[in-house]
Amino acid sequence: MTARLPVIMALGSALAWGLWWVPVRALEASGLNGVWAGIAMNAGGLPAFLLLVLLLRDPVPFTQRAALGAFLAGVAVVTYSAAITYTDVVRVALLFYLAPVWSKLIEVTFMGERWTWRSSLAIALSFAGIFTIFRGEISLEAWSMGDAMAVASGMAWSIGAALIFSAPAPGAAKLSLGMCIGGLVTGGVLIVLMGTDPTPTRDAAITAAPLALVAGALYLLPMMTATLWAATRLPPATLSFLLTAEIISGVATAALFLDERFGAPEVIGTVLVALGATVEVLAPHTRRPAAAP
């Protein structure tokens, strides 16, 4: 049971990540458009993250590698949030979950892992799912800014997870705080660079503040902490494939409650990506990071 606990934690947090669109769309409805919704969620959670770090008193300091990994995980969270406001939840979820492909390539190229038939089959199924969900229209004209952000989010997550796993790292509370700070910084940079999301009005900010605080403390904090706790114990590709369970809750709830297209291609694409995850974790394993030099 102990060996399987990281797997269980990753699956549980994945199902929670699938509901990420709920607070994001609620914040959007209150007047926080685009990137601002993700910024508000991270800002709302920041006091809770700081309090958790102070209460746990983790003596292990950040290494540069672990700090960068946590920061990139924050990049992934905010770009994912923005993508949800620009395109369909189903497309965002499936495009983000090219992440296992990037994670596997990182493991093989930089971490000494072996490429297996299981890896090839999992990646083939993932790409087949993406091809199906796009109805074969894999061209630049068919892609939106939200699609590009979803792919970028998956890449940032893959690199961040690899850095966290491969380096001596502090506990999940400190990593979550780093992830939160990374999300805030990234959101600010995107606002400046993109210049497309209008600054929220004073009334919108006041309306959104209670929701941001509650979502940050009761939703974002436990979900991030559980995910990053698993990230210190599971190889990046295994973790990324496990997190594809998000597709189940995300696609199901979006189909039920949002007016988004959901037909046979979406169903088949979801099944293919989920099968890719299942293949990769048929024999999940954990491995401790290397000791500090």
Contacts of 143 (CB under 8 A, 6+ apart): none
pLDDT in tens, 65-117: 889 999 999 999 899 888 888 887 777 877 787 777 777 778 777 777 777 77
The confidence score (pLDDT) of residue 2 equals 62
User: d(Cα 54, Cα 56) in Å, to the nearest integer?
Assistant: 6
- Alpha-carbon distance values, 252 to 52, 75, 249, 275 (Å): 32, 26, 5, 16
Q: Tokens 């089959």 appear where?
A: 121
273 to 122, 216, 281: CA distances (angstroms): 8, 29, 13
Which of residues 99 and 59 earns the better pLDDT score?
59
pTM of the entire predicted model: 0.81
Cα 144 off chain centre by: 19
**Secondary structure in 3-state letters for 182-208:** HHHHHHHHHHHHHCCCCCCCHHHHHHH
Neighbour count for residue 177 (Cβ, 10 Å): 25
Range from 31-45, 96-110, 167-181 carrying the lowest mean pLDDT: 96-110
DSSP per-residue codes, 25-67: HHHHHTT--THHHHHHHHHHHHHHHHHHHHHH---PPPPHHHH
Q: What is the pLDDT of residues 260-293, one digit of tens each?
A: 666 787 778 778 877 776 676 664 444 444 433 3
